[in-house]
Structure 1
Amino acid sequence: MSAYTTAFQALTDGRPLRPGEAAQLLANLRQETGEELAQAIEKQLDGKFRRTEDDTSATFRKKRAQYGASMRIVNALRALAQATRPTFPHQRNNRSTS
């Protein structure tokens, strides 16, 4: 049973959830969704950065660097989805919130 189905059933069965149960349901849903998203992105990247006959060494190095950066993002997404308490990096901007 998927995490979405479990969460849906828990929310619609009419009994209130304890905070620990709700937190666990949401954590499972976050993990499953993050893994599915990472797999989808990885599937989209598959074959996009392969060497072709027209590529020079410099072009292929750029493709390899772009693929490495893309996979670092995918792996960071996986790590964020698996984290028990996700933390986001501090945004560096000087804009006012008002």
Structure 2
Amino acid sequence: MSAYSDLHRALTHGRPLRPDEAEQLLAALRAENGAEFADLLERGLSDRFRRTDTDTDSSFRKKRATYGASMRIVNGLRALARAPRPALPNQRNRSTS
């Protein structure tokens, strides 16, 4: 059963959820949605950065480098979605805007 249907059933069941139960259900939903989103991004990226007949060696190297950087971001999203309690890194500068 999907995490969404588990969460829906728990919310409409009639009894209030304990905080740890709600946290567990929301974590499962976040992990499932994050994995689906990352898979969708990966499919789109692999189609976008394929070698074409008009690519030179240097342009394809640039495509590969860009694809690698994009995949590092996708894998970071996967790790963030799997984390039990995601913690975003602190902002590196003191700017408020």
Asked if TM exceeds 0.5, the reply is yes
1:67 and 2:67 aligned: yes
2:48 matches 1:40: no
1:87 partner amino acid = A
Q: Give the total of aligned pairs.
A: 97
Distance in 1 separating the partners of 2:84 and 2:9:
23
Q: Please, what TM-score do these two structures have when normalized by structure 1? A: 0.90
Instruction: Using structure 2 for the length normalisation, give the TM-score.
Output: 0.91
CA drift at 1:56: 1.4
Task: Give distance in 2, aligned partners of 1:89 and 1:60.
Answer: 33
Match of 2:26 in 1: 26
Tell me whether 1:51 sits opposite 2:51 in the alignment.
yes
Q: RCO greater where, 1 or 2, for CA within 8 Å and sep 6 or more? A: 2
Q: Hey, what does 1:95 align to over in structure 2?
A: 95
Which blocks of at least 5 consecutive residues in structure 2 are unaligned? none
How many angstroms apart in 1 are the aligned matches of 2:96 and 2:71?
A: 33
Q: Distance in 1 between matches of 2:96 and 2:90?
A: 15
Question: Which deviates further from its counterpart, 16-25 or 45-54?
Answer: 45-54
| Amino acid aligned to 1:83 | A
Deviations 1:5-26 (A, max 9, x none): 1101111111011111111101
Q: Distance in 2 between matches of 1:73 and 1:82?
A: 14
Q: State the superposition RMSD in angstroms.
A: 1.4
Cα distance between partner residues in 1 of 2:31 and 2:46: 22
The sequence identity of aligned pairs, in percent, is 62
